[in-house]
Amino acid sequence: TPWTPPVWMKVNNLKELEPFESWTSGQLNPACYQDYAVYFVKWIRAMEEQGVRIYSVTPQNEPLNRGNSASMYMSWQEQNAFIKEALGPKFRKAGLNTKIYLYDHNYDYDNQKEDTKDQGQYPLHVYADTETPDM
């Protein structure tokens, strides 16, 4: 899961689409979807060449957190578009079986449904977990 794409792929927001030359915050320019998907494919291939199988990826680490040292805002709608328009097709064309998970964010947001029997197949971070004792 990347924390941010290269800054040349980032814009200030999706309305103005002005270049955003910072590692922190910004959004992925939709015009760069194809290029960014190629980064994923090349990284997976490079890892495979070293004997490391990549089981799954997510398009963005903590997609609502604009404040990390390297970060990018990427709503679930943006992630869905990126996967549908670029990442999924590039994986298929490359013959990759790597799974793509959507919305790799903190436990205290969208991953709290108690009635979700298949919760284990979705990515999450457990930073704000109030149910598990401190380790």
Question: 35: domain CATH number?
Answer: 3.20.20.80
How many domains in the chain?
A: 1
Rounded Cα gap, residues 103 and 123, in angstroms:
7
Walk along the chain (135 residues) and give the pLDDT tens digit of each residue: 899 999 999 999 999 999 999 999 999 999 999 999 999 999 999 999 999 999 999 999 888 888 878 999 999 899 999 999 999 999 999 999 999 988 776 655 444 555 555 555 556 555 655 655 554
Residue 87 lies inside a defined structural domain of this protein: yes
Residue range of the domain that includes 27 = 7-121
Q: Give which of 45, 135, 121 is closest to 90, Cα–Cα.
A: 45
- Residue 107 in any domain: the answer is yes
Tell me if 129 is assigned to some domain.
no
Q: How far apart are CA 78 and CA 91, in angstroms?
A: 18
Q: What is the pTM of this model?
A: 0.81
Task: Answer yes or no: is 58 within a domain.
Answer: yes
For residues 33 and 21, give the distance between their C-alpha atoms in angstroms, rounded to a whole number: 17
